[in-house]
Homo-oligomer: A and B are copies of this chain.
Amino acid sequence: MYETYWKELGGKMDFTITGCQSLSYFANTKNLCWFLEPKLEQEIRNLHNNVGNAIVENRHVIVGTGSSQLILAALFALSETLNDPNPVNVVSAPPYYSSYPEMTDFLRSGLFKWAGDAYTFDKDEPYIEMVTSPNNPDGFIREPVVNRAKGMVVHDLAYYWPQYTAITSPADHDIMLFTVSKCTGHAGSRIGWALVKDEKVARKMVKFIQVNTIGVSKEAQLRAANIMEIISLSCQRSKPRELANFFEYSQNLMVERWNKLRNAIKNNELFRVSKFPLQFCNFTRDFTETYPAFAWMKCKEGMDCEKVFRGHKIVTRSGKRFGSGVEYVRVSMLSRDEEFDLFVQRLSNIHGIGN
């Protein structure tokens, strides 16, 4: 979706690496996260400071092969630190990211297990709550819901960037996860990072990545660092004139797409999408709504929404997958322009079931 931004920058964004660069497993043997490129760490810290969306002081930065690997690393680290003979319960409030159950259970780990709906979790046992904010799939700002003793929380803040929502304050949690994929659009790089307060937990997360993949691709780290450097520069007052502010540019895209979507269904009684409150964004210094990366659409009660959409050649993911009902579907708002326009066009042609 952000392709045009990067295209317009043209050759200025080319990233080159020589044949003899980055041969080693190691990036910085003095760092707790020994495979983290120093330049990437610096650009991560800079970008957070420029955007004001997370506290980076006294935090360990841990790079991962996308934030997926970091979610697993966090589950591993927290459950190992707990050192309980039974697997720790992993919960999240529905609708939750559809991959959480599978990621948690696919290796049948004895360290952690998926325990489902955070709203109904009432066991007197240790648990890890996954809090995604803004939430995937529905875009709402979230806080932990269990709030019991023996609780640990992982904050997945992949979408806490100005193009999606108001930056109301710098996030300040024990474990915060981010990813280049949702921030800059470079999903193919597989670069995510965690900001971690506790050193012991940070060390165990590093351990997980070490055993799992012996670190993270240096090429991807160095290119991500370059991209983040440009984005930080684009937010400066003293930026080059031809360099558009990345977050303004991408927020405009999101606003435009959400307007098209809302417009396409405004006279349609079959389905609806949520409205989001206006909030003051400290980054843009203006009031803004949330413009989520996904549209979470609700059809009429009892309707199998995925099926209806499929009948109109619209590929969605059913609400079932997110711990909700079949009357919900999730649709990506970050597809390519042509694809998105086709989606909106097909959507506006749905006037009744079977039509």
Q: Does A9 contact B (CB under 8 A)?
A: yes
- Interface 9-mer from A53-61, A180-188, A311-319: A180-188
Within 8 A of B (CB), among A10-27: 10-20, 22-25, 27
Q: Does A149 contact B (CB under 8 A)?
A: no
Complex contacts, A27 vs chain B, CB 8 Å: 188
> Which residue among A13, A217, A223 has the maximum number of chain B CB atoms within 10 Å of its CB?
A217
- Interface 9-mer from A107-115, A233-241, A257-265, A295-303: A107-115
Chain A interface residue number, banded: 35 or more
Q: Does A6 contact B (CB under 8 A)?
A: yes
Q: Is the CB of A22 within 8 A of B108?
A: no
Contact string, A68-106, partner B, CB cutoff 8 A, digits 1/0? 110010001000000000000000000000010011001
Interface pairs A-B: 6 shortest CB-CB: A13-B19, A108-B110, A6-B20, A188-B218, A217-B220, A22-B188
Pull 21 A–B residue pairs with CB atoms less than 8 Å apart, ordered by A. A2-B23, A3-B20, A6-B20, A6-B23, A9-B20, A10-B18, A14-B16, A15-B16, A15-B17, A16-B17, A22-B189, A23-B185, A65-B65, A66-B213, A69-B212, A106-B211, A187-B214, A188-B218, A217-B219, A217-B220, A218-B220
**Given A24-B188, A66-B214, A190-B217, 11 other A-B contacts at CB below 8 A?**
A13-B19, A13-B20, A15-B17, A23-B186, A25-B188, A27-B188, A68-B212, A76-B106, A103-B211, A107-B111, A188-B218
